[in-house]
Structure 1
Amino acid sequence: SDVLVFLPGAWEVARVAERIRATVDAEAVEVLELHGRIDSRSQDRAVSGRGPNERARIVVSTALAESSLTVPGVRMVVDSGLSRVPRRDTVRGMSGLVTVAASKASADQRAGRAARLGPGQVVRCHDERTWAAMPEQSAPEIATGDLTDAMLTLAVWGTPRGVGLSLPDPLPERAAREAEGALRGLGAVDDDGRATPLGH
Structure 2
Amino acid sequence: MSAARPRLVVGITGASGAAYGLRLLRRARELGAETHLIATSAGILNVHHELGLSRDALEAEADHSHAPGDIGACVASGSFATAAMVVAPCSMKSLAAIAHGFGDNLLTRAADVTLKERRRLILMVRETPLNLAHLRNMTAVTEMGGIVFPPLPAFYHRPQTIAELINESCERVLELAGLAGAAPQAWNGLRG
Q: Which is richer in strand?
A: 1
Q: Which of 1 and 2 has greater Rg?
A: 1
Higher relative contact order (CA 8 A, sep 6+): 2
TM-score normalised by length of structure 2: 0.38
TM-score normalised by length of structure 1: 0.36
